[in-house]
Structure 1
């Protein structure tokens, strides 16, 4: 996993997402490296309360399955692109992103979504 100088994975957030004045959402997926399943889960669990307390947070949910230990699906919704840009710069997120290279198999997957209506 490649990262920028500030540890946010490269290409994770397109410019149109960051510029959005309206709500944006993302569906993401990450798979732990073999033997790192618990470590990744612990890292995810550790950031959830802080993320949910952030300005602009509307929803942050993470799911896994019993059939695929170490596979995590994320759904996030933020009030604007500025809110999600601020989110990834938070110290708890910088620390989290810094750990992902050792924990995640391959690249993080992200599919950006815009609501049809609010």
Structure 2
């Protein structure tokens, strides 16, 4: 990883933080340390939820996705964004489009 950043979502009013529709700033790992996130896509049905302790790869950067995604973080969430060196995701194979069976729902 390269230049990781920790982000804290305030818990002042108990309301989730709506990141709005956006592209990822970098191809990166996203680690949910506390709280969790619901991620949805305007051009696809469904989405996924990541609870505290979960992680996902965000790679819908400008140029790969016209509209990006929407992230709704639970109040009090703490997460780490860790870009891939040189913006290149790790070599991987997609084995399933969607969340894992039995994944906890937020």
Q: TM-score under structure 1 normalisation?
A: 0.34
Q: Counting strand residues as a fraction of each chain, which structure ranks higher?
A: 2
More helix by percentage: 1
Question: Taking structure 2 as the reference length, what is the TM-score of the superposition?
Answer: 0.37
